[in-house]
Structure 1
Amino acid sequence: MDNKGCNENMGHSDMLRQNSKLLTTLLEVSNLVSSTMELRPLLEAILDKLRTIIEYRDAKIFISQGDRVSVLAHRSKLRPEQERTYSLPLEKELLRNPVVIADLWSDDELAVTFRKNMREYMDTIFRDARCWMSLPMVSKDTVIGILTLDHTEPGYYNDYHVELGTAFANQAAIEYENAKLYDEVKRRLQENEQRRRVAEGLKDIMRALNSDRSLEDILGFIIRQAATLLGADAAALFRLDGEKGLLYKVAAYGLPHLEEPYSSIGFRAPILQEAFAGRKPIVKTDPTETDSYDNGHPLMDAHLKWLRDNRCRMTAVPLICRDEVYGGIALYFKCDGDGPDREITNEDLTLAMSFADQAALAIDNTRLRKQAEETAVLAERNRLARDLHDAVTQTLFSASIIAEVIPRIWERNRAEGIKRLEELKQLTRGALAEMRTLLFELRPATLVEAPIEDLLRQLSEAVAGRARIPVKLDIKTTARLPDDVKIVFYRVAQEALNNIAKHSGAKNAEVGLSVNEDPKLGIIVAVLRVTDDGKGFELKSVNSGRFGLGIMKERAESAGAKLTVASEPGRGTKVELEWVGSK
């Protein structure tokens, strides 16, 4: 074989090896997807693979963004001072075709145009570049970007390089689209996870709202949750005093300077006050916006210094309670040297408003709870006043009348005088029993401390003194009732005796209690019976709201006891409460 044939065979062999290497490299590029789907690292790895088949000094992948293409990944041998990225005007028709400029510094029309468009980079990025090549990245007949290469040797790239590079650029486009799909799936998964975390966070807040935790504790918890779930570095809840035009710190997270002793003093913060009073959320993305502020208040000056030191941007949302501006929540996001870590979206603002709503609910609940407590105290005072008037005062008044007439009765009829003295004794004992009963109401702990026998005796004597109805006691106990059950037995007996005094018209009443323990079975059986010989009533014609029957039944059920009421017109009434349980 002559030399020409040998050279041709060698050329074909080189081309076969090059094509084989290209196919192997493209396969490796395709396999990169299984090792990493992070977009930028993936594209940089693709450029590293490209170097094994096409030599370059600098390589960049530009992706279409609006009306320009911007660098998304690059690999180069540039010196540090030459490492700069840039974007190019998007000329879609030009980008659809490969472009090779043999010498960037020649008088060729393309080279002259290139130097004109890239003049600010020619002395840096392209100072050592001579040959330059641009290859379209096409996916589904759409140009999504370009791959550019340059070399230090003029005329280095030829048609064969264009062919190799085009195949590589198209493969890179496919992997880019796959990575984008992965990023979209990943983003949606992250959004779903964030929504799950937010839902869990809001559930935790609802549990806190329904607990007996203090308002300060709940608001602090809400602020911590808001900062955590919104990715904020710090957060604070402020109360706005509209009349004074001052803000007061209520709760804070990640702001140690707001914990200083003077943090309870009001201060002015125009940006926050504008947002709160205007009832609209605001976003301040420029960290330098606070540079010119000088408040003069030690707390606010410390806060402004913290904002400047951390280059913070901020969002603030109002906190509305029953259509009144209470204040608001401020969230702070630290920025790095190149700008904010992430943008604040409308979804973030909506979530921040949700936290403000939860805080408003906590504040409103506390106000309502306080009002309810005040109302309950007032109602209890009024009830005690009525009881004093209806029971003790009336009893003492009757006792005073009898005491006044006893001397005269005694002179005329000694037997009648003795009878009146006994009546006076019953009245004073009843009044004393009523007073002790009222003291039990004022000091509930004494109900737990006192034996059930003493409690029933007090109730019986009180009714006997107030209603002039003799009440017979029959108490037999061999065991002690659990405290909660004892309170239920006391309350049922109290309600039943009150009904006898007010409605029965009875001449006699009886209270019986038996509490027995079975050591073998380890159980206690307790039975309370309150009976009278009064006028009775038709059970079917009386709803549960009358005579306190519903209340007695609820109390019995709360202790796991069984309540039975029996009554007939003209045959009196019997109330029976039975409980079986362990100590």
Structure 2
Amino acid sequence: MHQALSQRREKSARLFMSSVSLLGWLLILFSLVKLEPPAEPIVLVLLFIFLLISEYYPMPVWRGQTAITFPVVYVLFLLYGFPYTAIAYGGAVLIVNLIHRRPFRTVFFNPAQLVLSFYGAVLMLPYFKGLLDKLALTPTVQGFLEYFFLLALYVIINNLIVDLVLFIRPQHYSFKMWMQKNMTELNSAAISLIYGIILYVVGSQNRGEIDVFAYFFFFSPLVGISLLSATIARLKREKNRLKLLFSITSELNQMLPSQDWLSALKGRFNELIGAEASLLWIKRDGEWVLSFKDGRTLQNCELPAAAFEEFEEMRRPIIYNDRKKVGGPAAECFEDDVKAFVYSPLVIENETIGMFIIARSRTKSFQDDDVQSIATLANQLAVIIKTRMLFTEKEKRIVLEERNRIARDIHDGVAQTLAGAVMKLETAGKKFTKNPEETRKLVDESVLGLRESLKEVRESIYALRPYPTQKATLAEAILRKIEAVQKEFQQDIEFEIRGQELELSPMVEKVLFDTFQESLQNAIKHSQASAIEVLLSYQSEHILLRIKDDGKGFSLFQAMLKARNQPHFGILQMNDAAEKINASLQIDSKEGSGTEVVITVPRMGIEGENTNDQAHASG
């Protein structure tokens, strides 16, 4: 139902635009028939060039930009009449639209609606002129008021035509958008009005013959300001674009360790590129997975295998300007009125590992700058995804190595002990009647061996249990540990969390929790602290965990000397674990002044080496 209504509205909008285009270009063609040789062709050419420059370099105004061309159009009308004005105005707008490679429908609609708007204002001007004649005003004042009424009528008619198109179209046209458009047009009208005042003030003074140089110097400031301000605005847009692109890529890098790292793209990239929809597929273990979508995309989207084969063959961005002609292999994942697409593959070492697709509702709306921004982000995404894949592979390898280690321990330890115990018990069974003493000895040895085996089995089971941070977030695991310690030792412990909590990789959470647990244990058992403070801070560039106590402290130098003879000393274990996740560990302690342990983990590349490396020690 909604889709059918949307199609009807789109068809009505096209019909209206086609009607306006037809009427406008008929008017322009009719003006060609009525042309007469111009009195001053050089001035005509000069004014046309000024029109062209002003249209090509729109002047930035509050909340938008607009072409300040009305003063030039008005002077053309005064000097050469409507036919030359229609042809020059329509021709300049047509050329600029063609240069910008706008959609075919827009290329013909824009000149037509502007010429029709000016023609409608010209037709209505005599009614206002008749009223002004009755007031017996001075020529300068009357001329300016005529200019004002013509400008006002032109702005009203022009905005009415554009508003009708935007209201008829199925795309959302809010009151806020309407207000923003009208404020832009009012700013343009205000600048045109000021130039009209200057025109009549200067014209009222007797300065001799008005020639081509007079027009050149009069309109040069207007064109120069348009050119300069448009250039400045373009540079500002480019600066903001690069700034936002840098912000997005930096945030992606910082959020890489978290599971929801792609949330940095939500809304941000569509804002950067002016897109209305975007999708991201990532190839994982040979399978293509839809990992991200934003904007006007369909809820359910399943592509055939042939589409993914096309993805894998792409090595550089491809633009599909018109969905009706061809929209690419994933066009069906977007709403029907989304027309133009850019497919930007994520390529690493000549292998396509992802596909980033950006879409707009206007055909032929992607420029070279847009494609460059899309390709830049796609390259960044490719590096990040490949890095994340390597991290995942490393974690899988670590898990496999740990399983193999436990298997070796069981084989070399428990299995051998059990085998020896079985043999001794069998021997004891044979000697039970003949040599009871020898039998008892063998049984005792077997029981001792079985007890050792039981201990090793329990240790292996403990090692295989889910780690506290696997069953809860890091903050929850720390809080539960604090509650257990407070219940057992009645210890005063304060816990504070700062910043937005992130879901970190299992390795990072394990190292942070081990560091906390070791420091807490040392503070209670060795430092004899009365108060302990724990801080977990998620900052923009790193994650910080600090454990501070008011205990008796210790000499770090003496502790390091002690560690030479005791390789399992806790400080060394904590330091080794920190290094494996690229973290820095700082321990500040003096005898009699407490201890402070701080571990700082960067937000990028904080994966570890070995899930079994723990910072346990007796301190």
After TM superposition, the score normalised by the length of structure 2 is: 0.46
Greater helix share, 1 or 2? 2
Greater strand share, 1 or 2? 1
Q: Which has the larger radius of gyration?
A: 1
* Greater RCO, 1 or 2 (C-alpha within 8 Å, sep 6+): 2
